[in-house]
Amino acid sequence: MEILYSVYEVLWFVFIVIAGIALIEGYFYYHFQFYDRRWFFPAALLGFPLAGAAGCFAMGLVTEPVRIFLWLLGSEGLIAPFFRHIVKGRSKLAYLLLAPAFIGLALLLVYPFVFEVYLSFSDLKLTTIMQWKNTGYLPFVGLRQYIDVFTTSPLSEVTFWALLGRTLWWTFINVFFHVAGGFTLALLLNNHIRFKGFYRTLLVIPWAMPQVVAVLAMRGEFHAQYGFINIMLGKLAAAYPFLAGLGLGPVQWLSNYPLTTCTLINIWLGIPFMMVVILGGLQSISSSYYDAADIDGASYLQKLRFITIPLIRPVMMPAVTLGTVWTFNNINVIYLVTGQSGGTERADILVSALYKAAFTYNRYSYSAAFAIVIFAILFFVSVFYLKSFDAAKEER
Amino acid sequence: MADVKFSKVTKKFNENLILNGVDAEIRDHEFVVIVGPSGCGKTTLLRMLAGLEEITDGEIHIDNVLVNNMHPSKRQIAMVFQDYALYPHMTVEENMSFALRLRKAPKAEIKERVTEAANILQLTTLLKRMPKQLSGGQRQRVAIGRAIVRKPKVFLFDEPLSNLDAKLREEMRVEIAKLYQRLNATIIYVTHDQVEAMTLAGRIMVMNHGIIQQVGTPIEVYRKPVNLFVAGFIGSPTMNFIRGKLKVEGDKLYLKNDDISLYIPSFLLSKTAEHDGREVVVGVRPDDVLVGGAAREKCSEKLDGMLEVSELLGHRENLYIKVGDTRVLATVEAFFNQSPGSKVAVCFNYENMHVFDKATTQRING
């Protein structure tokens, strides 16, 4: 019987979504279709706020229907003239088709973002959250949270600036090795070799696997006693004593080198994506360029430098931008590798510190400000990349 | 400048035989056009000469030097590709100077050579442009310029005009002819377009199925095709072929099939008796088919035909004539004053007739 209940719940949810879309569409249809009727204003100003307030009240969403009615009346008083005098029913179908997606985006992106900005200017934390719940009131603190982001530690000891530096370094190292490794593998795969499809499949596996599974599997391999990495290091040191003399040997990866471990795992995870993108780029280069370069007398490295690299730049730039953003924002690897083992802070980057600040230290407003700062940094990085990408495209 | 020699050159892709023992010699300062249908191996032959394809068997000499295992850049050749292969991220100037820059030639020399080539090809104002900012014809000229700058011993053109529209193709054809007069270089030019072959070549090399069918001046190849393939490939519109059996009646030789009984004069095939019963194909170019009044005036032996369709080309007119079940194309002066469906007299200009053996496809008249 439980399964029937689940089906019922799913169907109920679908019904709610469809009903919501139908309501929204009907609402807009009215404004698009009847904007020039004489009864447009009275019907809109009376009907929609009344229906909205009554609906909300009936569903138990609000306790004061009059207040909601006045709110809705006010907003309808702005929306109705807008449709009558500015939209005038133009492009009706296009907007009706766009409306569900637009509203979905507004609910999922715009509302949380606006709320986050609101939070970042108030003071919501473990000690004020009950007050907020009971009174609905949050003290406005201006830019204090932003100042705190730059002056206090989001965690117990690491400062924001140390985290930022660590994040930039982490991003650079990761993206560098993603590109270098992906490029090398793509060059190898672009040759005429046997079992190419097989190699390609093998190499894509880390990327195709769910990240949680891949990271946890690799984390096991970095185990001090049972992971293959330490076992191999131990065997190597035993077989070649001079290597042991150089200091090679098993290492307490997770407790002594958490950031290195995370980096190694993330490099392993990120190479396949770059490889696939670069391989696609390589295969789109016409072989006649290489023929021409052969006749012109270019060596392998010269062909790489003068033909291959300039010609895959257009596919590289978006991939590198994406890779940078993903790596910068990569909480999965850090959290999964270090978050469980007593929570070292030595591997934390900005986003993982943000997560801890919000959900371990419960400083919600502070984390909101922190998140907006991170967003700003990423935004500028992306704009810079995309600008240079456009410039590269102009060149061709 | 240099001569080029192919000796028993063979190319196999796995078990596919692409070139089957090509023997040819191209002399210094010669403009040779290799022509043939797609897949005949002409481009492969050119790429082997350039060093872009391995040679399965045989030898290629440039200027009496065996180049089989020589790197393309060492062979002193330059190649113009069908898709131009201009490096899209370099300006015209950078494209043209790329080879010299790789060779670390002195800057002054590079500049001088690029300027010279740009002058020849009227590219001076375009030197700073990117390839994508150029029209098809301009790109083609840059590709040629890139070849000129290197001062090679042999120029290789791989279907250079096939990506251009018809009008531009004609213009560039003339440009290339002018360029040849100016450079006086050894040029090997591959095309599937027999008009380019006829107009540009000093000598034509007709290829099919990886074998050279005939080598000769354009007029030789046109007037005396050695086999059915060459006869059908060279010339536009295509030559008419009439299949049948030779029969001796009295002391005269006739070509007979179900519809046609055509007198074959003895200057075309002497030793009449030898040919009795031989299966042959007779070829006549559309220009050598006489129709109507011309046929009545000039020929004693005529065939009865029926005009199916006439196509007016302007100064000439294509007439498709059914003789029994055989269709014959005649190209005559405009305007031919008879409507489709009417009966016409047809005869052939015997002097320009070709007789091929049906089994061997080889030419048997002199």
Domain finish residue from B233, B268, B288? B233
Q: Which two tokens stand for residue A305?
A: 């430098």
- Give CA B181 to chain center in angstroms: 20
Per residue in A296-323, pLDDT (tens digit) is 888 889 999 999 998 998 888 888 888 8
Kind and range of the H or E element at A350?
Answer: helix A350-359
Is residue B200 domain-resident? yes
Is residue B365 domain-resident? no
Domain finish residue from B199, B215, B233? B233
pLDDT of A197 reads: 85
Residues of A in contact with B130 (CB under 8 A): 395-396
Q: What percent of chain A has pLDDT over 90?
A: 25
Spatial strand order of the sheet with B343-348 comes to B289-291, B343-348, B303-312, B316-323, B326-333
Residues of B in contact with A313 (CB under 8 A): 89
- Whether residue B81 sits in one domain with residue B228: yes
pLDDT of A223 reads: 87
CA distance B94 to B184: 26
Amino acid making up residue B142: V
- Whether residue B248 sits in one domain with residue B227: no
Contacts of B215 (CB under 8 A, 6+ apart): B24, B203, B204, B205, B206
| A21 and chain B in contact, CB less than 8 A | no
Is residue B278 domain-resident? yes
Q: What percent of chain A has pLDDT over 70?
A: 97
CA distance A324 to A386: 12
The count of other CB atoms within 10 Å of the CB of residue A183 is 23
Q: Tell me what the mean pLDDT of segment A109-133 comes to.
A: 89
Dmax (CA) for chain A in angstroms is: 95
Is residue B282 domain-resident? yes
- For residue A176, pLDDT beyond 90: yes
Q: Which among B74, B77, B81 is the nearest to A292, CB-wise?
A: B81
pLDDT of B268 reads: 82
**Contact across the interface for A396 and B130, Cβ inside 8 Å:** yes
Buried/exposed B300-329: b ≥16 CB within 10 Å, e otherwise: eebbebebeebeeeeebbbbbbbbeebebb
CA distance B172 to B139: 11
Superfamily of domain A152-362: MetI-like (1.10.3720.10)
Q: How big is chain B by its Cα radius of gyration, in Å?
A: 25
- Whether residue B263 sits in one domain with residue B180: no
Contacts of B164 (CB under 8 A, 6+ apart): B136, B137, B140, B172
- Whether residue B270 sits in one domain with residue B132: no
Query: A100-104, A249-253, B106-110: which has the highest mean pLDDT?
Result: B106-110
pLDDT of B1 reads: 58
Do the bridges between strand B261-264 and strand B252-256 make them parallel or antiparallel, or are there none, so unpaired?
Answer: antiparallel
Q: Which among A286, A295, A313 is the nearest to B50, CB-wise?
A: A295
Is residue B362 domain-resident? no
Place of tokens 């009344």: A50
Q: Tell me what the mean pLDDT of segment A55-66 comes to.
A: 82
| Structural domain boundaries in chain A | 2-89, 152-362
CA count, 13 A, side-chain hemisphere, A33: 8
- Whether residue B271 sits in one domain with residue B156: no
Residue B317, domain CATH: 2.40.50.140
Domain finish residue from B233, B258, B290? B233
- Counting as low any pLDDT under 70, the low residues of chain B are 1
- For residue A341, pLDDT beyond 60: no
| A64 and chain B in contact, CB less than 8 A | no
> What DSSP designation does A122 have?
B
Q: Tell me what the mean pLDDT of segment A370-395 comes to.
A: 81
pLDDT of B103 reads: 87
Q: Which domain holds residue B334?
A: 240-357
- Whether residue B55 sits in one domain with residue B179: yes
- Whether residue B105 sits in one domain with residue B141: yes
**Phi and psi at residue B216, to the nearest 5°:** 180, 175
- Whether residue B89 sits in one domain with residue B187: yes
Overall number of domains in chain B: 2
Model confidence band, residue A391 (pLDDT cutoffs 50, 70, 90): low
Residues of A in contact with B83 (CB under 8 A): 286, 288
Chain B interface, Cβ < 8 Å to A:
47, 50-52, 71-74, 77-79, 81-83, 85, 87-89, 98-99, 102-103, 130, 132, 146, 150
CA distance B297 to A353: 104
**Phi and psi at residue A334, to the nearest 5°:** -60, -45
Residue B125, domain CATH: 3.40.50.300
Q: Which two tokens stand for residue B71?
A: 């790197």
Is residue B364 domain-resident? no
- For residue A342, pLDDT beyond 60: no
- Whether residue B278 sits in one domain with residue B150: no
Contacts of B269 (CB under 8 A, 6+ apart): B246, B253, B275, B355, B364, B365
**Contact across the interface for A295 and B130, Cβ inside 8 Å:** no
- Evaluate whether B261 touches B247 at the Cβ level (below 8 Å): no
**ipTM score of complex:** 0.82
Residue of A nearest to B51 (CA): A295
Residues of B in contact with A305 (CB under 8 A): none
- Whether residue B275 sits in one domain with residue B153: no
Contacts of B200 (CB under 8 A, 6+ apart): B31, B33, B173, B176, B177, B180, B189
pLDDT of A343 reads: 67
**Phi and psi at residue B257, to the nearest 5°:** -140, -165
CA distance B56 to B68: 10
**Contact across the interface for A296 and B98, Cβ inside 8 Å:** yes
Whose CA is closest to B100, among B41, B160, B146? B146
Q: Tell me what the mean pLDDT of segment A219-223 comes to.
A: 89
- Whether residue B345 sits in one domain with residue B251: yes
Chain B: closest CA distance from residue A188 (Å): 21
- What separation, in Å, do the N-terminal and C-terminal C-alpha atoms of chain A show? 64
Do the bridges between strand B279-284 and strand B289-291 make them parallel or antiparallel, or are there none, so unpaired?
Answer: unpaired
pLDDT of A340 reads: 60
- For residue A396, pLDDT beyond 60: no
**Contact across the interface for B71 and A310, Cβ inside 8 Å:** no
- Whether residue B317 sits in one domain with residue B226: no
Q: Tell me what the mean pLDDT of segment A37-59 comes to.
A: 88
CA distance B330 to B317: 8
DSSP B6-59: EEEEEEEETTEEEEEEEEEEE-TT-EEEEE--TTSSHHHHHHHHHTSS--SEEE
Q: Which among B72, B82, B83 is the nearest to A294, CB-wise?
A: B72
Residue of B nearest to A302 (CA): B102
| A192 and chain B in contact, CB less than 8 A | no
